[in-house]
Amino acid sequence: MRSPGLIPGGALLTTLCAIAAAGAVLLDRALTHAPRRPAAVAAPLPARPPAGTAAQQLTLSQVERAFAASYALYLDGAAIGVLHDASLTARAQARSGGRIPAAFRDGTLRVAAVSGSSSPFSARAQLVLANREERYPLVVQLLHEQHGWQVAQLQPPDLTIDETVKPVAGVNMPSAAQEATRRFAIAYAAYRAGVAPLPAGMTAAAVAAIRSREDTLAGVRLPAMRPRLVSVSYGPLNEDEFAATATVRFGATAERFSLLMQLRKQTGGWLCAAFL
């Protein structure tokens, strides 16, 4: 005799199986009709940053030559801000060293030579800048810092010779000295143009400079015509010598050169002693 309220064992088993089957059907329908989530996509890896700034990527040689070229521009009259990779100290030293006087900027300065020695964190370079007439040696000290190589200190070229021959306003020059300078300037320019013989009025040292082609106009291509003297400016008279800068013109072509004139006390005449 069964107790009231109890379901027979067989019926209970049948009921549980029906419930399980119905649950399976409902679960299958839920999985079939549920919205699918998109598959996860791996985020792209971030790009690697460049290996340092542009300054860090410059080699020591590149920094040396960039500074030398910019310092040449400064010596030829550009502002101090033109200097590349220069410290405040180097800029101050460049400013105190001065520029080439405008009267003696004979052609554009170029980098003629670079040499020196270095370690991983410091370097010393000897640079030579040159135009058609002069060579200007200088020395720079470089340090390798956080942002790359930098010119830490500068030893400017010696510009005292340019200051010595710089034209002086109102200089009292003897008339004989002025006449000798004008006469020689025309004769010398005509000689280098190929329309006149070797000029007189030179010391042995000046003649040797011409014969070895170390004079100012030796490497200049000049029109084959007689020049015209445009102007002559004079440096300070130092006892028995002075410097002079002459400007001559060959048609549309103008050339400028500087001379050292000396007094020969034996004869009382003025001679060209050197090409400056």
- Segment 37-58, tens digit of pLDDT: 444 444 444 444 444 555 567 8
**Tokens standing for residue 251:** 């048609």
DSSP string, 102-144: GGG--S--EEEEEEEEE-SSEEEEEEEEE-SS-EEEEEEEEEE
For the residues 95-124, what does the mean pLDDT come to? 86
DSSP string, 221-276: ---SS--EEEEEEE---BTTEEEEEEEEEETTEEEEEEEEEEEETTTTEEEEEEE-
**Domain 54-160 fold:** Nuclear Transport Factor 2; Chain: A, (3.10.450)
Separation CA 109–CA 103 (nearest Å): 14
Task: Work out the mean pLDDT of the chain and round it to a whole number.
Answer: 81
What is the pTM (predicted TM-score) of this model?
A: 0.49
Common-topology check for domains 54-160 and 167-275 = yes
Question: In the chain, what percentage of residues exceed pLDDT 70?
Answer: 74
**By mean pLDDT, which of 4-18, 53-67, 88-102 is the weakest?**
4-18
| Contact in structure between 64 and 127 (CB atoms under 8 Å) | yes
Separation CA 119–CA 34 (nearest Å): 70
What is the reported pLDDT for 197?
A: 97
**Domain 167-275 fold:** Nuclear Transport Factor 2; Chain: A, (3.10.450)
The letter for the amino acid at 135 is R
Hey, where are the domains in the chain? Answer: 54-160, 167-275
What is the reported pLDDT for 63?
A: 95
